[in-house]
Chain A
């Protein structure tokens, strides 16, 4: 885990003091709301439907016991005993009071956390593969460059007031688990086939929201030392040429789309050539210093198979399901990455109570070299678990209500907070997720259906990634009532695709039945070994659309 140096520490402390003074001036009336709002947003503080909401950055999802315990403490003392993990590896508290926020920020600083750049038109929290450093398909651990980018983008003077928010994701693995193509910039660690050197493939122009776009390759291969000078050039072109007249058109995706990727690339290369590279390039010693923080922990040398786990699995069906769905192969023999599902059937996706935070803190410390990760799927990963310990961990998780064996299955639903919390929402999304999870709760049914992602957003902003769900659900308002549009065929990964609309919106009560019909088409027509999305790609939209129409006609 990266540890703050004095520079980081000073920067965060100064920010806390600044914000405390800004809050004081706001409360005295010296600052108007119009003056104060951008300042609070710069510190992750929103005003939502019921209360303020504080968004805390968890850079590339990295947590440890100390951080989790502090989050639990803040939840208990200043909030309502829980927090919500988001698709951008952030944590949101839904009930803080403005007068308490400086105190909260100060506590966060004690554990090297902050809310800087979790909102506003700046470079946001850098996200990454939640299996970084442990994935067996990894070329290189992406966390050192994620951290490098965090430092580079933190209070970068030139990019502090961009036309619009800017989101960067990085991965070092063969499989894209970080949704690179939905980001303003995606960085993929690659090996040059000719020289065998490691460098980066840079994507640009992705995004969701009201104009979803797929990120396109800007550079196939960028030499390692050029990462910062090249991104400096990308951001400069965006900053200078991106639109500022209309906030819906101010994202880099619109610039890339309007210019075309080739013209955009030419502009970036021109800027890149003119940049004073040595000043911006990565100093190899500094990079080595950062990378050292992510050295693998002292794994034991273990057999590939755990007799202990096998025996326990044979006796316990629930454990067996958990092992099947929630363990991911680890680089190191005898270890696994363990996914703790924050989708217990029937509860709000991504919510975690303070008690559960503490339980996970204990587990991380005891069983995972004091590491835990937040995944964009709104789950938590214990990255370094001995197979021998899985049964013990599972027993604790189960006692804490966290033993759901549904990672990657139809009830592992991503959902934004929707109208239950969010001031921008047009409809609720959590209750739809709850109803769907209850509808498909039967473990045998879930296993039969296999990998299938449902993603739900409560408005067109797409915080719940609905466009790229195998089944996507978008809550809208229709004739003074909540209405849900369903899309199908979205994919967040390497076969990135935006879903296709099935038909008119449905009332919430009809959504489980509609999803049931869609799934039934898959179950009836799949060929052996085919996942839902593969069957969809083979069959196309038509059979799903006609099954959906039967439901939609009932409503019409």
Chain B
């Protein structure tokens, strides 16, 4: 899987769950659907560890298309993607606030 060029840090690892298709984030343990639980890599070593995790999980048919996404951390400490595309991906369709993670997690 050709990963897009490495984003600036800090970053999180985003992928699609193979079985469900849902967007998932690498967490302390495995994957989470909740952006606030995403594991943030602040240095090169941590970013490489995330990428390795993504590659293994891809090989084991758990996820598809894992890649790093640049984030900033808000006052609450939760990561938020810097690019608008990744914000939409993390939250759900902006035209349907009743659907997606924004609805499931009230974010």
A contact residues vs B (CB 8 Å cutoff): 26-29, 33, 47-52, 80, 95-99, 348, 419-421, 425, 428, 430-431, 434, 480-482
Check A50–B18 contact: CB distance below 8 A. no
B residues sitting closer than 8 Å to A (CB atoms) are: 1, 16, 18-23, 58, 60-61, 64-65, 83-85, 88-89, 92-96, 99-100
In the docked arrangement, what's the CA distance between A98 and B18, Å? 7
Q: Which residue of A lies closest to B62 (CB)?
A: A29
Give Cα A244 to B85, complex, Å. Answer: 30
CB-based contact B94/A97 at 8 Å: no
Q: Which residue of B lies closest to A30 (CB)?
A: B61
Residue of A50, A80, A348 with highest tally of chain B CB at under 10 A: A50
Contact of B20 among A98, A428, A434 (CB under 8 A): A98
CA distance A33 to B83 in the complex (A): 27
- Other contacts beyond A50-B93, A98-B21: 18, CB < 8 A: A27-B18, A27-B61, A33-B58, A33-B61, A47-B16, A49-B88, A50-B23, A50-B100, A51-B21, A51-B22, A51-B23, A99-B19, A99-B20, A419-B85, A420-B94, A428-B88, A430-B93, A431-B94
A residues in contact with B16, CB < 8 Å: 47, 51
- B95–A482 contact, CB under 8 A? no
Task: Decide if A420 touches B95 in the complex (CB within 8 Å).
Answer: yes
Contact between A80 and B19, CB atoms less than 8 A apart: no
Give every chain A residue within 8 A of B94 (Cβ-Cβ). 420, 428, 431
Q: Are B19 and A27 within 8 A (Cβ)? A: yes
Q: For B63, give the chain A residue with the smallest CB separation.
A: A33
Tell me whether A26 and B61 are in contact in the complex, defined as CB-CB below 8 angstroms, given that A50-B22, A80-B99, A97-B20 are known contacts: yes
Provide the bound-state CA to CA distance between A158 and B87, in Å: 43
B18/A96 in contact, CB under 8 A? no
Given contacts A420-B95, A428-B94, A482-B84, contact A49 B18 (CB under 8 A): no
Given A47-B16, A47-B65, A419-B88: A431 in contact with B95 (beta carbons within 8 A): yes
Please report the C-alpha to C-alpha distance between residue A430 and residue B94 in the assembled complex, in whole angstroms: 9
- Given known pairs A96-B21, A428-B94, the reply for A29 and B83 (CB within 8 Å) is no
Closest residue on chain B to residue A428 by CB atoms: B94
With A50-B100, A51-B20, A420-B94 already in contact, the answer to whether A28 and B85 are too (CB < 8 A) is no
A-B contact pairs, 22 of them (CB 8 A): A27-B18, A27-B61, A33-B61, A33-B64, A47-B16, A47-B64, A49-B89, A50-B22, A50-B23, A50-B89, A50-B93, A51-B20, A80-B99, A95-B21, A96-B21, A98-B18, A348-B95, A420-B88, A420-B96, A421-B93, A428-B88, A434-B95
In the complex, what distance in Å separates the CA atom of A425 from the CA atom of B23? 17
B22 to chain A, nearest CB (A): 6
How many Å lie between the Cα of A420 and that of B96 in the bound state? 9
